[in-house]
Amino acid sequence: MAFEYAPAPESASIVDIRASYGLFINGEFVDSADGSPFKTVNPASEQVLAEIAEAGPTDVDRAVAAARAAYQKTWGPMPGAERAKYLYRIARIIQERSRELAVLESIDNGKPIRESRDVDLPLVAAHFFYYAGWADKLEYAGLGPQPRPLGVAAQVIPWNFPLLMLAWKIAPALACGNTVVLKPAETTPLSALAFAEICQQADLPPGVVNIVTGAGATGQALVEHQDVDKVAFTGSTDVGRAIARSVAGSRKKVTLELGGKAANVVFDDAALDQAVEGIVNGIFFNQGHVCCAGSRLLVQESGYDELLAKLKRRMSLLRVGDPLDKNTDIGAINSSAQLERIRTLSQIGESEGAARWTAPCPLPERGYWFAPTLFTGVSQAHRIAREEIFGPVLSVLTFRTPAEAVEKANNTPYGLSAGVWTEKGSRILWMADRLRAGVIWANTFNKFDPTSPFGGYKESGYGREGGRHGLEAYLA
């Protein structure tokens, strides 16, 4: 039976969104010299939230120059213990303002407040805390006797976890003594601009963190800038490829965290109720806008009927709607363009012969929404089994033996993550050895921690973020 819920909205009054935002260069907000402003909208209401400056090549140039100067004059020479204290300050301010930032994130991104409040923001603060402590201990990291910063880091992040991806990029870069120019995604710039204010509150020296807003052209100008030493990108595999090409022959060090098509493998001896929770979390967390989402469910044939029945029942209880409502499980799709992509690929799933089932749930009239959907009868050749949909769409395939599960799970150019559900310990370890992916979640899914390295095999990119390994990306 479905429970009736009274709406329990988080108040939006905690955030103060300005009508327009400039670029954050050399410690202050400045107007753009050569860009045309764009608008960021609330995907749950389609209302314009603010007008954002677009950084053109001149602006990018200014930001890189500010970062270079800060690297040479203040941040580079600063003792690690002092850098650490700035990062601890930032972590503390994030904790102090975490509710405000969570609400802001949900408004600009569309993700449920339950997730921005309970997952994104605690991880953001934890990430700064974790890397703060490394700043004066780098020679103990096992990365050589004299680790040195690289210089100026160009960082481009996606819209699915705006502030968390910022933390993953900025915290290790600064801890290692680099300065940064970061470009947030064009549909979710607000939390990065709030972070710029936090840098001001922390008295972070000017130029150490610069935020340039804009779309693909701004990102391209940034990663191709002659005076950056390091490029870090999280986003699609296609853009990652273009970046890898554009830095060819240069001195720039590159790390790429790209797409995924993770297999979530469920054996017939799995604890089914827990597995169902894990499958739902694996694909519907953050509307499925997760590069490591468990978007290919591989079910052992002998357990298929029982699992599918439980899964559909659970999916029917998911609540789609107002991101600021604390009852909401699935928020808004981040943009109309992304919604269109999800719709198109779902249509292709049907036309290629897979059977579509959509959870019966009401959707709000305005905004961008997509009900939780699963496809059965999916073959490995279907596009919905091969391409990253980046939405709340699950493809279900089956297998008989562990060897077949491994074969199917690895049959993808991606290799970011994978899941295994079984009560047999030796089988977990056997599977974990054979799955070609950077993160293996066994009897759990979509868990993240600043101490735990994250990143892909194959076309899911290279380099690791998080943990001791995450330092390597920012040290010579």
d(CA 252, CA 226): 9
Nearer to other proteins, 232 or 339 (CB): 232
Per-residue burial over 329-364, b if 16 or more Cβ lie within 10 Å, else e, is: bbbbbbbeebbebbeebbeebeebebeebebebeee
* The binder of other proteins chosen from 197, 227, 407, 449 (CB under 8 A): 449
Site for other proteins in 258-287 (CB under 8 A): 258
Binding of residue 426 to other proteins (CB under 8 A)? no
* The binder of other proteins chosen from 191, 237, 287, 295 (CB under 8 A): 237
Binding of residue 401 to other proteins (CB under 8 A)? no
Binding of residue 410 to other proteins (CB under 8 A)? no
- Two structure tokens written together for 188: 């979710």
**Is 257 labeled as catalytic in the residue annotation?**
yes
* The binder of other proteins chosen from 71, 134, 441, 474 (CB under 8 A): 441
* The binder of other proteins chosen from 455, 471, 473, 474 (CB under 8 A): 455
The helices-and-strands tally (H runs, E runs) of the chain is 15, 18
Site for other proteins in 73-102 (CB under 8 A): none
In Å, how far from its chain's centre is CA 102? Answer: 15
Binding of residue 176 to other proteins (CB under 8 A)? no
Nearer to other proteins, 348 or 428 (CB): 428
**Is 291 labeled as catalytic in the residue annotation?**
yes
d(CA 317, CA 288): 17
Specify the stretch interacting with other proteins by CB under 8 A; choose among 20-28, 55-63, 192-200, 457-465: 457-465
Question: Contact at 8 Å (CB) between 374 and 396?
Answer: yes
Nearer to other proteins, 104 or 254 (CB): 254
Specify the stretch interacting with other proteins by CB under 8 A; choose among 146-154, 282-290, 320-328, 466-474: 466-474
- As measured in angstroms, the least distance from the Cβ of 325 to other proteins is 26
d(CA 223, CA 157): 12
Binding of residue 233 to other proteins (CB under 8 A)? no
- As measured in angstroms, the least distance from the Cβ of 351 to other proteins is 27
Binding of residue 133 to other proteins (CB under 8 A)? no
Site for other proteins in 379-398 (CB under 8 A): none
- As measured in angstroms, the least distance from the Cβ of 429 to other proteins is 8
* SS3 label, residue 21: strand
- As measured in angstroms, the least distance from the Cβ of 293 to other proteins is 16
- As measured in angstroms, the least distance from the Cβ of 389 to other proteins is 20
Strand partners, 30: 23
- As measured in angstroms, the least distance from the Cβ of 444 to other proteins is 5
- As measured in angstroms, the least distance from the Cβ of 377 to other proteins is 29
In the DSSP assignment, the letter for residue 252 is -
* The binder of other proteins chosen from 442, 471, 473, 475 (CB under 8 A): 442
* Radius of gyration for the chain, computed over Cα atoms and rounded to the nearest angstrom: 22
* The binder of other proteins chosen from 111, 459, 474, 475 (CB under 8 A): 459
d(CA 155, CA 166): 9
Nearer to other proteins, 347 or 451 (CB): 451
Q: Which residue's structure tokens are 């699950």? A: 394
- Two structure tokens written together for 347: 């249509």
d(CA 474, CA 470): 8
d(CA 385, CA 362): 27
* The binder of other proteins chosen from 312, 383, 386, 468 (CB under 8 A): 468
User: Per this entry, what is the length of the chain?
Assistant: 476
- As measured in angstroms, the least distance from the Cβ of 98 to other proteins is 16
d(CA 60, CA 25): 9
Question: Contact at 8 Å (CB) between 422 and 434?
Answer: no
d(CA 181, CA 225): 11
* The binder of other proteins chosen from 12, 244, 272, 318 (CB under 8 A): 244
What distances in angstroms separate CA 194 from CA 15, 53, 154, 219, 233, one per listed residue?
Answer: 10, 14, 19, 20, 21
Nearer to other proteins, 41 or 265 (CB): 265
Instruction: Please enumerate in sequence order all residues whose Cβ is within 8 A of that of 458, keeping only pairs 6 or more positions apart, or say none.
Output: 413, 414, 415, 436
* SS3 label, residue 431: helix
- As measured in angstroms, the least distance from the Cβ of 261 to other proteins is 14
Q: Using CB under 8 A as the criterion, which residues of the chain lie in contact with other proteins when the complex forms? A: 126, 142, 144, 237, 240-242, 244-245, 248-249, 256, 258, 413, 415, 428, 432, 437-444, 447, 449, 451-455, 457-462, 464, 467-469, 472
- Give the catalytic positions in this structure: 257, 291
